[in-house]
């Protein structure tokens, strides 16, 4: 099958168009003919080798972490899906590869595609929507009336997290650039801090939760907006000891990972704030709950651009600029 691969880790290296074997279909798997795939910053981090200590992939590797398509084969134990079903998913981290014509995934990681979305719109959602859900619902237990700050509100995770937090009844603040103020307001942000004109840590205070997707400076400044008992949850690092244990890393690696986040954990603790790192995981059941919200009009996808399959490297380069509003999609069929 046609695919885009990496043969070695490189920060700005191009993906190689090539032929890959069609994935093996296991007993609990569905084989999906891929119609569209989302491009994520995670793809860049994998390509650069930034995550190789916690995600030791075997190269060559087909990239891609979001998929929408049609079920064309099912394993002997599959009961939830049948041939012809339109589905979407974020594949399990050890089975990625959506920049290709087919992918096999465990049925537990897959959900029916929202009926009111195109394949391209559906492919924009799994990774970022599951990230938002696992931060706000699962980790933060965000409640009606609480205050949440969502950084980078016009980005892939931000555009969905704002809508989900608003649905949960929270008071939502976000940071963005001047050009995207109207977009994030339209998604439900109550307070918008234009980072080109204001310092968010001087404007906001008394927040219950911060969702951080930016760098170290923003992470540390976020402590100032949280009240005692607040939660600082980062999806961009540094990883914490819990992640190391979840990934099954050896004792030495657990110590290394623990040191990476020691500084921010100590600063958070001194303010009676909890710090945690979230590396989202595939979850078809959660994605089905998200589907219900999409079909009810509570969450809508934000798609910036759609590239043809042969322009996968151009799509990757566009995402790397950091200027995309919402998600960038590769149309495969």
Check residue 59 and give its pLDDT. 95
Cα separation, 93 vs 47, whole angstroms: 14
Check residue 12 and give its pLDDT. 85
307 within domain boundaries: yes
How many domains are contained in the chain? 2
Domain holding 99, by residue range, is 2-125+301-331
Check residue 257 and give its pLDDT. 79
65 within domain boundaries: yes
Check residue 317 and give its pLDDT. 96
Query: 36 and 331 in contact (C-beta within 8 Å)?
Result: yes
**Same domain as 120, residue 6:** yes
CATH of the domain at 69: 3.90.180.10
Dmax (CA) of the chain: 58
Query: 243 and 54 in contact (C-beta within 8 Å)?
Result: yes
287 within domain boundaries: no
The closest of 48, 125, 95 to 302, measured between CA atoms, is 125
44 within domain boundaries: yes
Phi-psi region of 114 (alpha: psi -120 to 50; beta: other; left: phi over 0): beta
Task: Indicate yes or no: pTM above 0.75.
Answer: yes
**Same domain as 236, residue 164:** yes
**Same domain as 228, residue 188:** yes
Cα separation, 319 vs 157, whole angstroms: 13
Check residue 212 and give its pLDDT. 98
Tell me the mean pLDDT per 10 residues along the chain, length 333: 96 93 97 98 94 87 98 98 98 97 98 98 98 98 98 98 98 97 98 96 97 95 98 91 78 82 94 96 98 98 98 97 95 96
CA 103 to chain centre: 19
Return the residue matching tokens 């590769």.
Answer: 330
Return the residue matching tokens 């704030």.
Answer: 273
290 within domain boundaries: no
Check residue 122 and give its pLDDT. 98
Check residue 258 and give its pLDDT. 84
**Same domain as 165, residue 132:** yes
| Helix ranges, 101-171 (H) | 119-123, 126-133, 156-167
**Same domain as 177, residue 44:** no
160 within domain boundaries: yes
CATH of the domain at 136: 3.40.50.720
Cα separation, 185 vs 175, whole angstroms: 11
Check residue 2 and give its pLDDT. 98
Check residue 133 and give its pLDDT. 98
**Same domain as 247, residue 134:** yes
140 within domain boundaries: yes
Bridge-based pairing state of the strands 171-176 and 191-194: parallel
Query: 67 and 123 in contact (C-beta within 8 Å)?
Result: yes
Q: Is 70 exposed, middle or buried (0-12, 13-18, 19+ CB in 10 A)?
A: middle
**Same domain as 239, residue 131:** yes
């Amino acid at each position: 099958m046609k695919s885009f691969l990496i043969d070695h880790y490189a920060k700005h290296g191009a993906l190689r168009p090539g032929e890959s074997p069609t994935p093996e279909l296991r007993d609990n798997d569905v084989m999906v003919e891929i119609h569209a795939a989302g491009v994520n910053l995670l793809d860049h981090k994998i390509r650069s080798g930034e995550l190789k200590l916690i995600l030791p992939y075997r190269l060559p590797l087909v990239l891609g972490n979001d998929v929408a398509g049609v079920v064309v084969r099912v394993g002997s134990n599959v009961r939830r899906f049948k041939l012809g079903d339109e589905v979407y998913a974020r594949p399990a981290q050890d089975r990625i590869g959506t920049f290709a014509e087919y992918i096999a995934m465990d049925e537990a990681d897959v959900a029916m595609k929202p009926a009111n979305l195109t394949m391209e719109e559906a492919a924009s959602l799994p990774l970022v929507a599951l990230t938002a859900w696992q931060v706000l619902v699962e980790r933060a237990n965000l409640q009606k009336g609480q205050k949440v700050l969502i950084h980078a509100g016009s980005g892939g995770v931000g555009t969905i997290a704002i809508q989900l937090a608003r649905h949960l009844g929270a008071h939502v603040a976000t940071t963005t650039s001047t050009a995207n103020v109207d977009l994030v307001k339209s998604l439900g942000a109550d307070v918008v801090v234009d980072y080109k004109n204001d310092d968010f840590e001087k404007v906001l205070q008394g927040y219950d939760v911060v969702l951080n997707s930016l760098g170290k400076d923003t992470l540390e400044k976020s402590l100032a907006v949280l009240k005692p008992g607040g939660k600082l949850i980062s999806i961009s690092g540094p990883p914490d000891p819990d992640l190391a244990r979840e990934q099954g890393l050896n004792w030495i690696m657990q110590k290394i990972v623990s040191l990476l986040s020691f500084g921010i954990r100590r600063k958070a603790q001194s303010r009676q704030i909890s710090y945690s790192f979230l590396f989202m995981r595939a979850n078809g059941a959660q994605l089905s709950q998200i589907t219900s919200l999409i079909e009810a009009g509570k969450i809508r996808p934000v798609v910036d651009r759609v590239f043809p399959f042969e322009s996968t490297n151009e799509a990757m380069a566009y995402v790397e600029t950091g200027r995309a509003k919402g998600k960038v999609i590769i149309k495969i069929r």
